[in-house]
């Protein structure tokens, strides 16, 4: 069997999911049918409609949805995260330092003097006297390291009169935990007796001084009026001052109305659009001005429709605009002056020929060519009828004298159909011979699966 290789492109039967719902023809067995918008496909079985078949593929979107629906979260995740964060390395180290079998001693009632509430678990049954050594206290030998007249420092002592050489009379000195406290204030010192006091005082500002009228007798609080400043409460407030943003400009929220509320677009069908192709609609808002870039007219939003603010004349080259005056003046002046048409060409005749014979022009550059004006002036060399008789022609004929047939053979086959001229011929191709098909180098055979 002869083979012939053709360059071909195959297009599958493709429709949107919505179109497939109402599609009645039954796909052929093994025919691939694709939903163009969902990328899902079904294979025909020759029996059921598309809507009755099952999908044989899964799209990335279907897979992502399935994974998302299969995933789950723990309701107590926040609690688990908090426990994990609280169990720090320091706490773990502390717990690791507790020996196995250790017990926690808990005294249920610290005010109990007897009974189980006052017991401490695993306490020693006896303690050695003086820490186990009568001659030492905390490792120190009493006679060698502690003076014979040593006294504990948590005892308070008092001295009277001039016993310490610091006070006049009375028990004015106490010693608590090694700290000597003089409670008597009946003596005085001059500035010279205190080192550095005079220098410190010289560096102080007298209380008679003032700051913006406020005496230095305590903490001073200055307001905006004291320093000639603007109060912070006036920034961005009514009857106040405008603020500046990070770019050094006044924010749009503090500008007067309509300063920056101008929206440009394209008006079509009573709606404004961002693009001239009228794709993205602009929602109307009160307090804004809308400029139609086509007519240059201005509109406002009434709440239900865009209303032209004023029927101004806009420049342009459409039926609804005015034309530029300078161009109009130029066109008018041109129309008033003598001139050739815009498409005029210079006519220069070089020669005039009649049936190949040159005909000379006369002195006024005119060429006179005589032409027959009636049939009798023509030479009848073919035997045409000049009067009487009947002429049969295709226009007056109603059918062929002899029937003919039309058929197709070769690369395509169509059965013969009789033709006598009384009706049109419709040939039905019943088969194709692929071995005889030929496609040009720049052409492509497209097998269209849509039906």
Mark whether 283 and 308 lie in a shared domain: yes
> Does 315 reside within a domain?
yes
Q: How do residues 216-261 score in pLDDT, each as one tens digit?
A: 777 888 777 777 778 878 787 877 788 888 887 877 676 665 555 8
**According to the model, what pLDDT value does residue 383 have?**
66
Mark whether 246 and 281 lie in a shared domain: no
| Boundary of a domain, candidates 330, 348, 380 | 330
Q: Lay out the sheet containing 271-273: strands in order across.
A: 281-282, 271-273, 262-268, 289-292, 298-301, 306-308
Mark whether 285 and 312 lie in a shared domain: yes
**pLDDT at residue 144 is higher than 60:** no
**pLDDT at residue 411 is higher than 70:** yes
CB distance 103 to 121 below 8 Å: yes
> Does 84 reside within a domain?
no
Mark whether 265 and 319 lie in a shared domain: yes
CB distance 170 to 160 below 8 Å: yes
> Does 36 reside within a domain?
no
| Boundary of a domain, candidates 302, 330, 358 | 330
| Boundary of a domain, candidates 214, 240, 257 | 257
**pLDDT at residue 420 is higher than 80:** yes
Helix (H, G, I), strand (E, B) or coil at 256: coil
**According to the model, what pLDDT value does residue 72 have?**
60
Give CA torsion, residues 16, 17, 23, 26, to 10 deg.
100
Q: How do residues 307-347 score in pLDDT, each as one tens digit?
A: 988 776 666 777 767 777 888 888 888 888 887 777 777 66
> Does 429 reside within a domain?
yes
Best CA proximity match to 43, nearest among 59, 56, 52: 56
Best CA proximity match to 191, nearest among 183, 201, 203, 204: 201
The secondary element (H helix, E strand) that includes residue 307 is: strand 306-308
Sign of CA dihedral 151, 155, 161, 162: positive
Average pLDDT over residues 412-431: 86
Q: How do residues 383-399 score in pLDDT, each as one tens digit?
A: 666 665 555 566 667 78
**pLDDT at residue 155 is higher than 50:** no
> Does 284 reside within a domain?
yes
**According to the model, what pLDDT value does residue 414 have?**
86
Mark whether 270 and 303 lie in a shared domain: yes
Mark whether 420 and 437 lie in a shared domain: yes
**According to the model, what pLDDT value does residue 125 have?**
60
**pLDDT at residue 101 is higher than 50:** yes
Mark whether 239 and 274 lie in a shared domain: no
Mark whether 294 and 244 lie in a shared domain: no
**According to the model, what pLDDT value does residue 296 have?**
82
Mark whether 253 and 266 lie in a shared domain: no
**According to the model, what pLDDT value does residue 159 have?**
44
Q: How do residues 50-66 score in pLDDT, each as one tens digit?
A: 888 988 887 777 777 77
Mark whether 243 and 283 lie in a shared domain: no
> Does 244 reside within a domain?
yes
Work out the pLDDT band at 305, boundaries 50, 70, 90. Answer: very high
Q: In which domain, by residue range, is 285 found? A: 261-330
Tokens read off for 196: 């550095």
Mark whether 247 and 307 lie in a shared domain: no
**According to the model, what pLDDT value does residue 362 have?**
81
Mark whether 248 and 272 lie in a shared domain: no
Q: Please give the Cα distance from 117 to 140 (Å, whole number).
A: 37
CB distance 241 to 269 below 8 Å: no
Tokens read off for 12: 């599958």
Q: How many CB atoms lie within 10 A of CB 299?
A: 22
Q: List beta partners, residue 267.
A: 272
User: Is 20 or 173 the better-scoring residue by pLDDT?
Assistant: 20
Average pLDDT over residues 439-446: 70
> Does 234 reside within a domain?
yes
Percent of the chain with pLDDT over 90: 7
**According to the model, what pLDDT value does residue 277 have?**
93
Work out the pLDDT band at 267, boundaries 50, 70, 90. Answer: very high
Number of domains in the chain: 3
Least confident of 36-45, 70-79, 222-231: 70-79
Work out the pLDDT band at 136, boundaries 50, 70, 90. Answer: low
């Amino acid at each position: 069997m002869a083979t012939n290789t053709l360059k071909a492109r195959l297009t599958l039967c493709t429709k949107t999911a919505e179109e497939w719902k109402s599609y009645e023809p039954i796909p052929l067995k093994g025919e691939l049918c694709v939903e163009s918008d969902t990328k899902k496909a079904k294979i025909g079985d020759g029996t059921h409609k598309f809507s009755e078949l099952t999908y044989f593929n899964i799209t990335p979107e279907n897979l992502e949805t399935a994974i998302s629906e299969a995933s789950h979260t723990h309701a107590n995740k926040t609690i688990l995260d908090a426990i994990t964060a609280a169990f720090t390395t320091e706490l773990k180290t502390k717990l690791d330092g507790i020996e196995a079998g250790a017990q926690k001693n808990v005294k249920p009632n610290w005010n109990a003097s007897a009974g189980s509430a006052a017991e401490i678990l695993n306490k020693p049954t006896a303690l050695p006297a003086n820490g186990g050594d009568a001659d030492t206290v905390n490792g120190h030998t009493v006679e060698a390291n502690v003076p014979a007249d040593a006294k504990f420092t948590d005892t308070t002592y008092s001295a009277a009169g001039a016993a310490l050489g610091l006070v006049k009379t009375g028990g004015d000195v106490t010693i608590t935990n090694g700290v000597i406290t003089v409670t008597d204030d009946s003596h005085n010192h001059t500035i010279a007796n205190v080192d550095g006091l005079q220098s410190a005082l010289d560096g102080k500002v007298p209380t008679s001084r003032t700051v913006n009228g406020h005496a230095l007798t305590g903490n001073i609080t200055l307001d905006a009026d004291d320093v000639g400043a603007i109060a912070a409460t006036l920034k961005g407030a009514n009857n106040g001052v405008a603020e500046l943003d990070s770019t050094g400009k006044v924010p749009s929220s503090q500008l007067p109305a309509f300063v920056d509320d101008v929206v440009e677009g394209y008006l079509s069908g009573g709606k404004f659009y961002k693009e001239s192709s009228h794709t993205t609609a602009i929602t109307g808002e009160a307090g804004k001005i809308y400029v139609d870039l086509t007519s240059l007219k201005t509109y406002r939003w009434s709440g239900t429709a865009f209303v032209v603010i004023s029927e101004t004349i806009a420049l342009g080259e459409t039926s609804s605009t005015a034309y530029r005056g300078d161009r109009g003046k130029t066109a008018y002046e041109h129309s008033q002056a003598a001139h050739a048409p815009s498409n005029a060409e210079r006519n220069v005749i070089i020669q005039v020929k009649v049936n190949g014979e040159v005909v000379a022009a006369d002195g006024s550059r005119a060429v006179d060519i005589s032409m027959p004006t009636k049939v009798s002036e023509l030479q009848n060399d073919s035997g045409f009828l000049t009067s009487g008789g009947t002429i049969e022609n295709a226009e007056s004929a109603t059918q062929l004298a002899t029937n003919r047939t039309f058929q197709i053979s070769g690369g395509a086959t169509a059965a013969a159909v009789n033709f006598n001229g009384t009706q049109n011929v419709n040939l039905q191709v019943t088969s194709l011979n692929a071995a005889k098909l030929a496609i040009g180098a720049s052409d492509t055979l497209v097998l269209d699966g849509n039906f």
